[in-house]
Structure 1
Amino acid sequence: MPDLPPNVVRTPDARFDGLPEWPFAPQYLWADLPGLDGPLRLHVVDEGPRGAAETVLMLHGEPSWSYLYRRMIPPVVAAGHRAVAFDFPGFGRSDKPTRTSAYTYELFRAALLDVVRQLDLRNVTLVVQDWGGLMGLPAAALDVPDRIARLVVMNTFLPTGRERPTLGFKVWKASVRVLGRHLPIGALMRIALPARQAPFVQGYTAPFPSARHKAGAATWPLLVPSDPSDPVAEVMVRARAALAMWDKPCLLVWSASDPILGGAWKTFERLVPTAAAPTFVRGGHFLQDASGAEIADHVVAFMDAASSA
């Protein structure tokens, strides 16, 4: 087992003991990623039969982790599929570089592609939300299209730096810029989740026992391109061009009450030729938390329909 690289911390396992609705045993991969002085340990949830014909890969965003998909994984597995979710560097049970400069778009991109290739995921239904979309959709369209069978797109965007951000995103980005590593993740999740979901805030704060563990959460929102000259914007432009020619099935599942991305479904409905009108669910930005089982049912039905077409 490799040593922990310099300037990297690991959340103690005890922080994850007894989390509500989280029965999944941790599994880990080691990845050599750009800009680091050694391999990172990446946490993966890998449930269901390894030899299943269909795999559902679920990508989280900010400041969440695989815990966000706890209500989607069991129904997917019950339908006979393999369910995979992993934590990006700096989040969940994955290792966390302590320098904000370590967190680049290429770091996250390399981590995602490494997981896909190490697990040899094929015939994938890719489920993305928030930053999971900014990472997963370019990967699907540009890097590993041969491994992706269909897309499920939820409350995300592909910003090119030319759009006018919503007020909700402006406030969020400004807050992250000011608070940095002192971002009060627990308080933010209490605001974002419905009152009945309050017991699950513990799950979202578990990965972050100190400010040193929050460098990724303090950086990811700032990587959203606000100018067309941003290198990340160029990736988004190329991804949009590829998705405009996407000929595989695409399902939009959306929460319109999201104050940041509630209306972004219109972009994907226009952009992706195979995307129909969205299926709307409740839940605000973290729609998987409030409507995970319902979303999973939609995903399984979508897969069944696509497979029999």
Structure 2
Amino acid sequence: MDIIRYDANRFTDIPDYPFAEKWLEIDLGEGHRGQMHYLDEGAKDAPPVLLFHGEPSWSFLYRKMIPILVDAGFRCLAPDLIGFGKSDKPDDQSFYTYARHVDWLEQWREAVVPQEAGLFCQDWGGLLGLRMVGNAPERFAFVVASNTFLPTGGTPSPAFLAWREFAKTSPDFKIGELLQRATFTERSAAEVMAYDAPFPDEPSKAGARAFPQLVPVEDGMAGIEENKLAWENLAAFDKPFLTLFGADDPVTGGLGNTLASRIKGAQGQAHDILSGCGHFCQEDRPVDLSQGIIEMAKKAGFLD
């Protein structure tokens, strides 16, 4: 297996992304080590908020939210998951597992921001982040979740099954175009290019192709038992928990209501289904999402 390093030349014209590169070497497993890229914006002594992206995006997705949150008084930390963005990319799809993604992200958190933090998570950012909340609820001050869930098997939706099959078999797996189709608002040519930048060739897309196959939406899949165990603490999580889902996302459907109904800290919060908002809500409604984070942090006493 080869581990692909990012090509800096492909990132020279990324729009609205003036953030400094940060790097952490982590143990990938089986004797491999890799570089995880992340953003760390705002005062280092400010209350931290973790911004977790999903499939097949990267920290570029948070470029509109980070300035708002920093102005509000946060320290914003946005990692690129292994296989995405500027982070290293093992080129073997079978190397990627749910358990490894959790481990890689927990290594990053332990090294970079071990103290209590807020969390915003979307898509696979929630499958990872909500698992982490369930595993260690005391390390999270509040949560805002969008277009995500913590699945424990069952029956997957037709929309998800179609997406999983497309990611696995399509010979034309163009990441920028996928982001374009899954947002309500129009992306510019430069933005589409920015989402294509991490993926110069087919081997670099191994992580992006693997992710949909790892979602434990059918009984017997890896990760179900761990998620069931995490749900015990997640359901009892009594700190502020807000769901802000996109009305125009065909994949996550009513999962926002399901999350809100199962988690103690979600009771009485101003949950919303945002109009004009697709799967990649950070592109469509960044101000509303940022305001939700600010409000939950204040409710938690985490932000003045």
TM-score (norm 2): 0.93
User: Is 1:229 matched up with 2:223?
Assistant: no
CA RMSD of aligned residues (A): 1.7
Whether the aligned pair in 1 keeps the contact of 2:137 and 2:237 (CA below 8 Å) is no
Query: 1:107-163: CA deviations, max 9, x gaps?
Result: 211111111110133221111110111111111111x3232111111110122111x
Match of 1:9 in 2: 4
Whether the aligned pair in 1 keeps the contact of 2:19 and 2:39 (CA below 8 Å) is yes
Match of 2:124 in 1: 131
Match of 2:40 in 1: 46
The 1-side partners of 2:74 and 2:151 are apart by 32
Q: Structure 1 residues 301, 227: CA separation in 2 closer, same or farther (over 3 Å shift)?
A: closer
User: Is 1:197 matched up with 2:191?
Assistant: no
Q: CA deviation at 1:277?
A: 4.8
The 2-side partners of 1:300 and 1:277 are apart by 13
Secondary structure at 2:23 match in 1 = strand
User: Is 1:161 matched up with 2:153?
Assistant: yes
Match of 1:32 in 2: 27
Q: CA deviation at 1:195?
A: 5.1
Secondary structure at 1:33 match in 2 = strand
Alignment of 1:181-196 (within 5 A): 182-194=172-184, 196=186
Query: 1:255-284: CA deviations, max 9, x gaps?
Result: 121000031112101110111351232321
Q: CA deviation at 1:244?
A: 1.5
Secondary structure at 1:88 match in 2 = coil
Amino acid in the other structure paired with 1:46 = D
Whether the aligned pair in 2 keeps the contact of 1:11 and 1:209 (CA below 8 Å) is no
Alignment of 1:1-309 (within 5 A): 7-35=2-30, 37-52=31-46, 54-142=47-135, 144-162=136-154, 164-179=155-170, 182-194=172-184, 196-199=186-189, 200-275=191-266, 276-281=269-274, 282-307=276-301
Whether the aligned pair in 2 keeps the contact of 1:11 and 1:213 (CA below 8 Å) is no
Amino acid in the other structure paired with 1:108 = H
Amino acid in the other structure paired with 2:58 = W
The 2-side partners of 1:251 and 1:122 are apart by 21
The 1-side partners of 2:4 and 2:253 are apart by 35
Amino acid in the other structure paired with 1:264 = L
The 1-side partners of 2:144 and 2:245 are apart by 10
Structure 1 unaligned runs (5+)?
Answer: 1-5
Amino acid in the other structure paired with 1:198 = S
Structure 2 unaligned runs (5+)?
Answer: none
Whether the aligned pair in 2 keeps the contact of 1:34 and 1:106 (CA below 8 Å) is no
TM-score (norm 1): 0.92
Q: Structure 1 residues 168, 198: CA separation in 2 closer, same or farther (over 3 Å shift)?
A: farther
